[in-house]
Structures are given as C-alpha cells and as structure tokens.
Amino acid sequence: MLYSNHITVAASTTEANRVRTQFKINRGVIHRIWATFPPGCADLVNFRILHDEHPIIPSLKHQYVTGNNYTYVYHPFVPITVEPALITIETWSDDDTYSHKLHFQVSVISKIWLIPAGAVMGIIASLKALFDRSRSS
C-alpha cells in the first residue's frame, strides 16, 4: 500500500505551535518513506515523522529534517502489527512570509516480500541438495 499526504505549512508556524497531521496505515512493514521539499523552502520548513509517538525520521525525538528542492528517501523498516496504526507528521516553519507544501509518501508492504534474497537462495540450494540426494539413493 502506498499512502500519500500533502501538508501545507503556514508561514510563522513555530516549533511550539507545530502542526500534527495524522493518518492511518494498515498492518505490514513501513519499508520506504519519501519526503519532498519543493523549491523555495530554503531549509526553513521542518518535519519529523512518528509512529505511536516514537520517532521514525529522524530517529531522535527533538530533531527535525529540513530541505529545499529535494526528495529524501528513507528505508526505516518499521513493523506495523496493530491495524490501523497512526503515523504522525509534525511540521513547522521559520519562514515568516510564505506557506510551503510538503509531500509525503509511505510505502507499507507485507513482511513476506522482505525475506532477504540470500535467505531465499539458501533455502533453494538446500531443497536442491535434498532433492539431488533423494534421486541418487
């Protein structure tokens, strides 16, 4: 599932008055998050993403991410075991003149798709060896 959210951050939204935008996601693993700062943000707009009030991005609670004309791509690997779960995006801005619109996308996939390729190859090799052994007997 891909979840998408546009958040407009008003001018002069201080850290003390940061805006909390929440949305629900389904069970699985958060395996990729895209956060896009359009041109003009000039590192004045800040965000952080939380799951159950625990920081995902950045990993420390009292830090924020800023940017300008850039899309950050994160691979947090956060298991979601309760459905629906709440994701919170906190935003604020030091820009005292302009509002800015940030774009977030969150990809949640089933755990079954995250089995490492090496583990799958090992299982296949073991099954092949077992099959070869049984044929030669």
Q: Note the pLDDT tens digit of each residue in 34-58.
A: 999 999 999 999 999 999 899 999 9
Strand (E) positions, the chain?
Answer: 2-9, 19-25, 28-37, 45-51, 54-57, 65-66, 70-74, 78-80, 85-93, 100-109
Higher confidence at residue 111 or residue 5?
Answer: 5
42: left (phi over 0), alpha (psi -120 to 50) or beta: left
- In the chain, the largest separation of any two C-alpha atoms, in whole Å, equals 80
108 burial type by CB count under 10 A (0-12 exposed, 13-18 middle, 19+ buried) = buried
The DSSP annotation for 22-45 comes to EEEE-SEEEEEEEEEEPTT-TT-E
**Residues 95-115, mean pLDDT to the nearest whole number:** 88
56-76 pLDDT per residue, tens: 999 988 899 999 999 999 999
| Angstrom distance (rounded) from CA 131 to CA 102 | 54
CATH number belonging to domain 2-136: 2.60.120.380
Q: How far apart are CA 21 and CA 7, in angstroms?
A: 8
